[in-house]
Chains A and B, each alone.
Chain A
Amino acid sequence: MLAYIVRRLFAVVVMLLVVTLVTLSIFFLIPKLTGSDPAAMFVGKQADPASIEGIRQKLGLDEPILVQFWHFVSGIFVGRDYTGGGDSIHCAAPCFGYSFKTEQDVWTMLVDRIPVTLSMVVGAAVLWLLMGVTTGVVSALKRGTAIDRAAMVTALAGVSLPIYFTAMLAMFLFRTQLGWLDAKYVPFAESPGGWFAGLLLPWVTLAFLYAAMYARLTRATMLEVLGEDYIRTARAKGLPEPVVLGKHAMRSTMTPILTIFGMDLGALVGGAVLTETAFNLSGLGNAAFKAVGDRDLPVILAVTLITAASVVIANLVVDLLYAVIDPRVRLA
């Protein structure tokens, strides 16, 4: 078990390094290939040549990509000094880069946004897992009935709706027209009620999309599992139906769902760009969106990395959970 975890953690680290290298390369190689100046992109269009030159030295843009990569990665652990153009900026660990547009280090810009994204995503995840799996199981058991058909049509509509459209519709209905709810982030410690009310719309909207996907997946998996021999065996030996379904069928059904759940949760924790943008919540994803408008590359880079990190870590956790759910999986 321990050896497995160590091996997987090693793989996680390698994966994150690859993602970092590739993302960094995009920022430095594409401008080179297309003949524009990467340093100029970090300051903005109105910058004078001196400050562009300063940025070039600070970021070490003339150095090989691997050297820049090393500076970036070591900065995350020990902090980093940006020196050049006559001044020096210190960026304390964890240094995920420094935004020359806002003159702040990226971590400071992002750290306050993490609870916003986490609250939104975890709340929605609880909802969609309950809604999606329940709907899927009921649909599978009542296969071919009106309930099944209604559920599946709703689910298909759900996966065909862009989340930001649903978000705007919900806002228009519940805030503009009815005046019941607003989407805003209030810290839980400040007011638990406000936290709940402010996040209810984003939760339901986000959960609806994912519940639709999970209902489809659960139904298909459940139907497949119910056709397996061991289910027939369980029934044949006289086990009560709740045990057959709850204990035998549900275990296998949950395996693929857990896989997807890990990836989805990881990806969303790293930035629910669309949802946050549509609801105007200042989470990580919204920071990335704003950064696109300002062409603030270090912020985009940092959010990309945080997302990749949460996806691979969530995958690792899921793989460990497999051992608990599925007795056939032995970690060796």
Chain B
Amino acid sequence: MTAPLHETSAGASTATVDGAPADPGTSGTPDKGIQGRSPWKIAWTRLKRDKLALAGACVVGFLILVAIFAPLIVGLLGHPPDEFHEDQIDPLFGTPIGSWGGISSDFLLGVEPVNGRDVFSRIVYGARISLLVAFLAAVFAVLLGTVLGIVAGYFGGWIDAALSRVMDVMLAFPQLLFTIALVSVLPNELFGIEGSGVRIGALVVVIGFFGWPYVGRIVRGQTLSLREREYVEAARSLGAGRLYILRKELLPNLVAPITVYATLMIPTNILTEAALSFLGAGVKPPTASWGQMLSKAVNTYESDPLFMVIPGLAIFITVLAFNLFGDGVRDALDPKGSR
């Protein structure tokens, strides 16, 4: 079940008001004379006007800080994420004693059913796993997709045919099932890495590996059309080598679509990581992750709904913030998309 995790909306746009002048040449203020503006500056002006995208960016920034300073935050406001607090649990039902999932000034987001671990700490530490895996997997997918997409698009011929077939096969591959199969045969120790490190590495590689064809397809298509442009022709006729053309003529023009795709890939990756954890193929307990908390909540949500709502909201808010930001970046970089 690949699709629900992947935003298939390659061209979907939220049509933000695009008030930036279209032609940079005519927009300089008269007293300063004509000022050149790079495409990036124009994009930035547009992005600044997009309130929703900025709100998304703020939340994203906040979450990144939370992830980085997780030990500090938990030290100040919570209990160690693996510490059991059975005194907070009703021994008969296994549910938290306090109302609202045991929320109190001591346990800000309540306690986990049965063992009484601090939900707040686990959410904060869960942000680390979620963001780390999503970022690294996106980087991996973008690198692989860009290189292979350019190679396919620029060299064409049998290389293109072969790479395109590989992408087709990978897009038909049931990612979730395949990944849970793969993770279930992975040993606890691999290449000298132990414990949750193996799983995190495996998650990054697998999510990234299944993500590259999406980037690859876009980069290939762009490269195909770019390499026929006059300026590439001009460079070639001036005697520029293949590598020079790739680096200086094609790559700069690919940065915008790649940036857009990379930004929109992160929320997808967060959902994939959470889904895998939910299915028991994510990081191993006791390392905290949001998907894993939800998977535990399957058994307890009828008596303790808050333990289900909190990690669910954490995923929702994070993904929504990244999506808002990503949509904003796309609209800013690709004015054609919101015609």
Contact = CB atoms under 8 A, between A and B. Distances in A.
Interface of A: 15, 18-19, 22-23, 26-27, 30-31, 34-36, 41, 143-144, 148, 152, 156-157, 159-165, 168-169, 171-172, 176, 209-210, 213, 216-217, 219-221, 223-224, 227, 260, 263-264, 266-268, 270-274, 277-278, 280, 285, 288-289, 292-293, 295, 297, 300-301, 303-304, 307-308, 311-312, 315
A311 B180 contact: no
Contact of B174 (A156, A210, A213, A308): A308
Given A168-B297, A289-B279, A15 B169 contact: yes
B69 interface: no
A295 B186 CA distance: 11
B153 interface: no
B228 interface: no
A304 B178 contact: yes
Contacts of A311: 172, 174
Contacts of A35: 187
Interface in B165-181: 168-169, 171-174, 176-178, 180-181
Contacts of B281: 292
Contacts of B298: 164, 168, 277-278, 280
Interface residues of B, number: 58
Interface in B250-309: 267, 271, 274-275, 278-281, 291, 294-295, 297-298, 301-302, 305, 308-309
Contacts of B176: 273-274
A260 B171 CA distance: 11
A209 to B, nearest CB: 6
Interface of B: 1-4, 7-9, 11-15, 168-169, 171-174, 176-178, 180-182, 184-187, 190, 267, 271, 274-275, 278-281, 291, 294-295, 297-298, 301-302, 305, 308-309, 312, 315-316, 319-320, 323-324, 327, 337-339
Given A30-B186, A172-B302, A271-B174, A210 B181 contact: no
B3 A263 contact: yes
B275 A274 contact: yes
Contact of B171 (A36, A172, A263, A285): A263
A271 B181 CA distance: 14
Contacts of A264: 3-4, 8
A75 to B, nearest CB: 19
A307 B278 contact: no
A172 B305 CA distance: 8
Contacts of B295: 164
A271 B275 CA distance: 14
A312 B172 contact: yes
Contact of A27 (B181, B301, B337): B181
A303 B316 contact: no
A210 B6 CA distance: 11
A234 B9 CA distance: 28
A108 to B, nearest CB: 20
Nearest to A260: B8
B174 A307 contact: yes
A168 B190 CA distance: 36
Contacts of A209: 4
Nearest to B319: A160
Interface centre among A156, A159, A216 (most CB of B within 10 A): A159
Contacts of B339: 223-224, 227
B312 A292 contact: no
A165 B297 CA distance: 10
A220 to B, nearest CB: 4
A164 B294 contact: yes
Nearest to A31: B185
Given A15-B169, A163-B4, A288-B180, 18 more contacts: A30-B185, A159-B9, A162-B291, A164-B278, A164-B298, A216-B9, A220-B9, A221-B11, A273-B176, A273-B177, A273-B279, A289-B279, A292-B180, A300-B181, A303-B174, A304-B174, A311-B174, A315-B172
Given A156-B14, A274-B278, A165 B177 contact: no
A278 B279 CA distance: 10
A290 B323 CA distance: 32
Contacts of A219: 12-13
Which 6 A-B pairs have CB atoms at the shortest separation, nearest pair first?
Answer: A165-B312, A216-B12, A307-B174, A220-B12, A160-B320, A160-B319
Contacts of B324: 156
Nearest to B312: A165
A104 B13 CA distance: 50
Contacts of A292: 180-181, 184, 279-281
Contact of A224 (B11, B302, B308): B11
B321 to A, nearest CB: 9
B190 A34 contact: yes
5 contacts: A34-B187, A156-B323, A164-B298, A264-B4, A292-B279
Given A260-B3, A271-B1, A307-B177, A300 B184 contact: yes
A141 B178 CA distance: 41
B89 to A, nearest CB: 21
Contacts of A289: 180, 279-280
Given A156-B14, A165-B294, A224-B11, A27 B185 contact: yes
A162 B278 contact: yes
B16 to A, nearest CB: 10
A162 B275 contact: yes
A223 B13 CA distance: 9
B308 A165 contact: yes
A280 B185 CA distance: 25
Contact of A162 (B3, B174, B315): B315
A268 B279 contact: no
Contacts of B168: 15
B11 A267 contact: no
